[in-house]
Each structure stands twice: as C-alpha cells, then as structure tokens.
Amino acid sequence: MRPPLRLAEARFAATLAWQQTWRRARRSLGAFIGIAGALTLVLVQLGFQAALEESAVRIHRQLTGELVVVARHFQGFRDLDWFERAGLAQAHAHPQVAAVAPLMLDAILVRDRESQAMSSIWCIGIDPDQPAVRFAVGRADTQLLRLPGRVLFDRESRPRYGDVLTRLDRDGRASMLTALASVPLQAELEIVGSYRLGATIAVEGTLLMSEATLAGVLGRSRERLTLAVLQLAPGARPAQVAAELAALLPASLRVMTLDEMIAMEQHLWASETPIGLIFALCTGIGLVVCGIFIWQLLGQLIDENLHEYVVLRIMGYNAAFFALVLLLTALLYTAAALPLAILAAAVLDVFSAGSTHLDTHLTVGRIVFVMLAGTGTALCTGALAGLRLRRADPAALL
C-alpha cells in the first residue's frame, strides 16, 4: 500500500466531488429542486414562527416605560387579569419612578353597520394625558380621545371590519357599534383618526381609546387596570427598581421589567401552545426531506461509479477518502440549492406578509441557521452513504 498523502488525497477528493456533481447536474435536476424545496420549507417555517412570536409582543414593544406592574397571576395577554388602581400608591411614591401610566386591555365584539357581521377587536384604553403606548399618533388625535366614545382605528388591522378606512378617509369619521352580550345597551364608537400597529397572532385588529371609554363599553370600573407602565427617572436601573417595588407593593401585584414581560409572552406562545411544536415538527420534516433527496443523489452516484471506487480502493485509497468525496458532494449540492431556496423563500415571504399582515421577512440569522442545518444534514447523509460504500467487497465486484 502506498504511503498516505493526506493533503493530496483531500485535493483529489475535492476535485472528484466537483467533477461528479457537475457531470450529473442535468440528470440530478429533480433531486436538486427537491433539496432547494426542502430548504425553502425550512426557511418559510422559521420565518412564520419568528413573525408569529414577534407579533405576540407587538403591543409590548410600544409601551412607554421600563417596568410594568401586573396582577400576581398574570399569564400574558392571552389570559388577562386585573388589579385595583389603588395598589399603585407605593409606585407613585418611589423616587426613581418618574410617571405611572395606566393601561386597560380587552377584546370586544363590534358589528359592521352594512353587513351586520360581528368581529372581535382588541381595545387599548389609555390615559390621554399620560399615554402608556407610543403609537405614531398626533397629540391632537390623542386629545380627541378625551371625549366619550371617540376611538382611533389601527390601519394595519386585517380587512374584516368592513369599509371603515374608506369612510374614514372620505368623511374624516366612521363608526362602529359594539355587540356585547354582557351589557344591555350597545355603544356607538366614533372613529376620529387612525394609527399603525398591525395584527398579532391572536388579534385581528385594535382600537385605541381612553380608559374611561373602554370602561364604559365593558360596563366596569375604571379602577380595574390590566397593567401599569412605569417610566423611570434618567439613570435608574430597571432591575434594581423592580426589586425595590416588589417589596413595597401589595402581594397581589407583580413587577417586571419590559424585557422580562416580552420574554414571558414569547415563551408562553412557544411552549404552552401547539404553535412551537408544530413549527418545530415542520422544520424537522423539511430537513428530513432534504436528507432524503441528498441520499437519493449519493445512492445513484455510488451505483454509477462503484467499480471506479473499487479500483481506487485497490490502489490504496482508504475509507476516509471515499467518505470525504461523498461529504463534499453532499455539501456541493446543498450549497448550490441554498441560493435558490433563499430566493424562493424571499418571494413567499413578500406574498405572505401582504396576506397575513405579519412581518415575515428573511433575516441573516435565519439564513445562517438554515445554512448550518443544511450542512449538518448533508454531512450526516454523506456519512451514512459512506457506510454503504465501505461495505462493498472489491473481490465480489471485480
């Protein structure tokens, strides 16, 4: 057996892998498209998962403070809880708290005047003098919310609320009628302006109004808040202030930093709903399909060149050499399919963003993850194909 030349063998393996890949380019077109399609599936699935998780905290990211106060058993915006406004007295008195902004949240049913169809919409009740959210709303529009029954409509809501925007743009005003079974008299909500927020994983659209208007619509006291947003003085440390307030506020209240609240909401959607599991399974299926197509390609390659491989084996090339050839071949097919997958995923993201009103777009992190996952799949498949080639008996073949 000739002495091993590791660098020369590696170069020869790379050359052989490239030649085999190029020579089979046309015959392997179907499998190549299959690999690209599987990687596209993974990219799109990850994009939808990221967009849904980010949409779940869209309102959170618009809060104007660094800390939030919620009820002790608050479990995210899916299961809203409330607490009494009087419990915030100690927060007002803390020297590092510059302002306390109350916030009321709830979903109501509204009825379209023309079609009489009912739809659920999320209501955000604020104090017009101390808004808890930072939507791009003019101060004049915010002050209009002081009047009872006046609301602002989210222009990025999903199109299921009739021609609200058409009437608003044409006449400067529009209206909705509530459709709540829990109150005897329904309220008319006059839309006097708009803002942009966007739909979320659980919310089709939103209305911005004063807390007094929302309390009147729901028929409950203004003293029952969903949360309070605390704006801290310059230089204050949110974690430290949160710890101090936790010792001062009543046991029925809980203080969190805004980052903690965002992380909790995303974790709840990812781990306590089927969404996280479904997307994880779809991503895994996409990688398995990618591996199957690569296995098919390598299997055909081995069958067509088995006698040549045996000759090289008799000449002294060991199993590591053939494994390297197959690994490099698998990586070449995967690398060639990735740009096509990225292009297809980008096109699909544009169409899905328009139809779902979710922020689906390609990110560098997602592309890098799919590159690494595709590389790992190619390496695993190439290693398995190498085991098949290793079991070949040169004497039986020659």
Which pLDDT belongs to residue 111? 84
Which pLDDT belongs to residue 260? 93
Do 216 and 313 belong to one domain? no
Do 23 and 91 belong to one domain? no
Q: How far is CA 383 from the centre of its chain?
A: 34
For 214, the domain range is 73-251
Helices (H) and strands (E) in the chain, counts: 12, 11
Least confident segment among 8-17, 97-106, 362-371 = 8-17
Mean pLDDT of 239-246: 92
Mean pLDDT of 209-216: 92
Determine what percent of the chain is predicted with pLDDT higher than 90: 22
Which pLDDT belongs to residue 209? 93
Do 193 and 98 belong to one domain? yes
pLDDT in tens, 141-190: 777 888 899 999 998 888 888 888 888 888 888 888 888 877 777 888 99
DSSP 164-214: HHHHHHHHS-EEEEE--TTSSS--EEEEEEEE-----SS-S-EEEEEHHHH
Which of 251, 282, 301 delimits the end of a domain?
251
pLDDT in tens, 34-70: 888 999 999 998 888 888 888 888 889 999 999 999 9
Do 83 and 211 belong to one domain? yes
CA distance 198 to 232: 28
Query: N- to C-terminal Cα distance for the chain?
Result: 19
pLDDT in tens, 289-341: 988 888 888 777 777 776 666 666 767 666 677 777 778 888 888 888 888 99
Which of 219, 251, 283 delimits the end of a domain?
251
pLDDT above 90: residue 229: yes
CA distance 156 to 385: 51
Which residues have C-beta within 8 Å of that of residue 381, sequence separation ≥ 6?
291, 294, 295, 298, 330
pLDDT in tens, 359-381: 777 888 888 999 888 888 888 88
Which pLDDT belongs to residue 140? 61
Domain membership flag for residue 266 = no
pLDDT above 80: residue 288: yes
Entry pTM = 0.77
Helix axes 364-390, 319-356, angle to 10 degrees: 150
How does DSSP classify residue 326? H
Do 242 and 369 belong to one domain? no
Q: pLDDT band at 1, cuts 50/70/90?
A: very low
Which pLDDT belongs to residue 102? 93
Which pLDDT belongs to residue 237? 93
Could you give phi then psi for residue 232, rounded to 5 degrees? Answer: -95, 160
Determine what percent of the chain is predicted with pLDDT higher than 70: 86
Mean pLDDT of 85-101: 90
Do 139 and 212 belong to one domain? yes
Domain membership flag for residue 99 = yes
Do 363 and 281 belong to one domain? yes
Do 195 and 222 belong to one domain? yes
CA distance 326 to 299: 10
CA distance 41 to 35: 10
CA quadruple 376, 379, 384, 389: dihedral, nearest 10:
170
Which pLDDT belongs to residue 388? 66
Domain membership flag for residue 68 = no
Do 227 and 356 belong to one domain? no
- Per the structure, the count of domains in the chain is 2
